[in-house]
Amino acid sequence: MDKHVPVLLKETIEKLNINPSGVYVDMTLGGGGHSEAILEKLSDGELIGFDQDEYAIQQATARLSSYSNFFAINDNFINAKYRLADIDIDEVDGIVFDLGVSSFQFDLPERGFSYRFNHKLDMRMDQSQDLTAEFIVNHYSFDQLVQIFFEYGEEKFARIIAKNIVLKREEKPIHTTFDLVDVIKEALPQKVLHKKGHPAKKVFQALRIAVNNELHILEESLTNAIDILKPGGRLAVITFHSLEDRICKNLFRKLSTIDIPKGLAIIPTEKPKIKLINRKVITANQLELENNNRAHSAKLRVIEKN
């Protein structure tokens, strides 16, 4: 696996304000890029990396094998608070989430994440789970497919695409990524097919989110992460689409303010749980945009626990 550099890496590491003796958690280990950058700044501190993808654990562990103060846990980040407690870690100095799919997962045809390769529809980050994209496409009802495509992919042609999927799967099952791409293209108007960008992008995104239950676990995972931060500890989150970013933005806004009823003449004595390190979302600079296409949709938000 190539040592790809995560997007917004420099900005993320700077905003984490790393304590060389601190304890840090990479909730989305992936290719190990953030972990490596954090480990380079640690002296007697330690880093724990989580990933539900066993292949990611293997690759990142190999990449970071020279660091004795790193170890990995093969689990979904929703369980991180409890897995850390199992190893007597109740508080940490910093946490990073780099959401979405790692580059190497997209580049492995057999994982079925990408419309660029023809392979079985899979899209599971945790290969031990039963639910796959193939099952959803071939067994979910028309209404369920519409909801997934519209809510998770923000696909305005959700109904047309879902209708064609239901029709085509009655003739024969939709097994592969290219099977699905063909069904999507057939459903869309010509003017849409001629637009810039791949016509299947939103549907593939929506299926990936549904297969891995990404949005439903994100808010709980962020809340748990804030709970285990030490006072002064920081949490950095990189998102890649509006649904993820909205969850982060709304949660951080809620936890960084004290709700005082309008017109009530009181001075609050309690502090908000967190403070925003960047009120305006951080995006990639022009140089990174030119060198990394994935950076175009990336947004970084950082908070500090009070």
Closest to 8 measured CA to CA, from 207, 272, 210, 298: 298
Q: How far apart are alpha carbons 29 and 129 in whole angstroms? A: 19
Domain containing 88 equals: 9-98+214-305
Specify whether 166 is located in the same domain as 232: no
Tokens of 228: 């285990």
Q: For the chain, how many structural domains are there in total?
A: 2
| Within a domain: 148 | yes
Do 228 and 204 belong together in one domain? no
- CATH of residue 73: 3.40.50.150
Q: Are 84 and 54 within one domain?
A: yes
Alpha carbon distance 123, 205 (integer Å): 10
Cα 103 to chain centroid distance, Å, stands at 12
User: Last residue of a domain, which of 148, 181, 212?
Assistant: 212
Do 299 and 235 reside in the same domain of the chain? yes
Tell me: do 208 and 224 sit in the same domain. Answer: no
Closest CA to 281 of 228, 242, 254, 224: 242
Inside any domain, residue 276: yes
pLDDT truncated to tens, each residue of the chain (306 aa)? 445 678 999 999 999 999 999 999 999 999 899 999 999 999 999 999 999 999 899 999 999 999 999 999 999 999 999 999 999 999 999 999 999 776 666 778 888 889 999 999 999 988 899 999 999 999 999 999 999 999 999 999 999 999 999 999 999 999 999 999 999 999 999 999 988 889 999 999 999 999 999 998 999 999 999 999 999 999 999 999 899 999 999 999 999 998 766 666 666 667 899 999 998 999 999 999 999 888 999 999 999 999
Q: What letter represents residue 113's amino acid?
A: F
Residues 87 and 153 in one domain: no
Same structural domain, 220 and 237: yes
Domain assignment present for residue 119? The answer is no
| CATH at 177 | 1.10.150.170
